[in-house]
Amino acid sequence: MSKKLIGIIAASLLVTGLAGCNRDNKKATADGAESIDTIGEQVKYKITGIEPGSGHMHATERVLEEYDLAEWEVTTGNGAAMTAALKKSYDKKEPIIVTGWSPHWKFVRYDLKFLDDPKLVYGGTEEIHTIGRIGLNEDFPEAYEIFQRFKWDVKDMEEIMVEIEEGTEPEEAAQHWIDKHKAKVDKWTEGVRKVKGVQIKIASTVWDSEIASHHMMKLVLEDMGYDVKLMFVELGPLFAAIADGSTDVSFAPWLPNSHKPYVEKFEGKFDDIGVNMENVRQGLVVPSYMDIDSIEDLK
């Protein structure tokens, strides 16, 4: 074999080898140039979700339909699995898309962003409301006044959530927040008469955000003399318990969009006491290092 032929074969093998060593998010085109994979190809057309059946996941399924994302799938699991997957990818600076909501401790821990939702499938910003059973204002007028005044912001809740995520017990983390923000808490309770041993029942979901808020309000009420019974249930049973009077109050519902089906189902059977937090939202979330800004970019 001639030296010239050997040289040509060696050069061909070198080119082939280099092509095989392309980075995972690149591919060779017909003319030998490299092109970046689409976002879908980078994440294998997968969105990492949470528990199936939640309003958040139903909205995400509608996103796939409204934005014509037929190739995409939403994996189910739970909040802990979602944040574990996010951490794994974030630590390696790898692309990932998760279903997300704010407030949540992940926005404090990581540099993240919501993808724009121009069709407003997720409904834009929302509010968290305080709801109570019918007659609560007559039976517990002192507590009712506190509930009417109760209002805090996203950063307040995330303070407690981050501490819980770092290993502090929920009630201890909530007490730390109360101690640090005494002036804010005083606005809720100032001038309200204390009671002695009156039992009141609070219902919460098991979401990280509501674990934070309900433990905090449990402590506030206990300081006012209430014997607080805190229970954790799914959202449907929560609304049902408020509606039939077996529990007194909850600070969990997201309105007007996320929990609209429950509001419609139990219309007239609960008291919408007021807004306790504004500017909460849900949607698709990505690390800020990803070059994508809108759900439309997933096409």
Q: Is the model's pLDDT at 10 over the cut of 50?
A: no
Half-sphere exposure of 263 (CA within 13 A, CB side): 16
Give the pLDDT mean for 163-167: 96
pLDDT tens-digit profile of 37-85?
899 999 999 999 998 877 788 899 999 999 999 999 999 988 889 999 9
**What's the pLDDT score for residue 17?**
38
pTM score of the predicted model = 0.82
**DSSP-based three-state secondary structure for 137:** helix
Do 85 and 138 contact (CB within 8 A), yes or no?
no
User: What value does the mean pLDDT take over residues 90-116?
Assistant: 96
Q: How confident is the model at residue 36 (pLDDT cuts 50, 70, 90)?
A: low
Domain regions of the chain by residue span? 3-36, 39-299
Q: Specify the DSSP element, H or E, that contains 10.
A: helix 3-20
Query: What integer pLDDT is reported at residue 218 of this predicted model?
Result: 98
Residues 188 and 223: their CA atoms lie apart, in Å, by 12
CATH tag, 39-299: 3.10.105.10
Name the percent of the chain lying above pLDDT 90: 79
pLDDT band at residue 30 under the 50/70/90 scheme = very low
Give the mean pLDDT of 225-244: 96
Give percent of the chain with pLDDT exceeding 70.
88
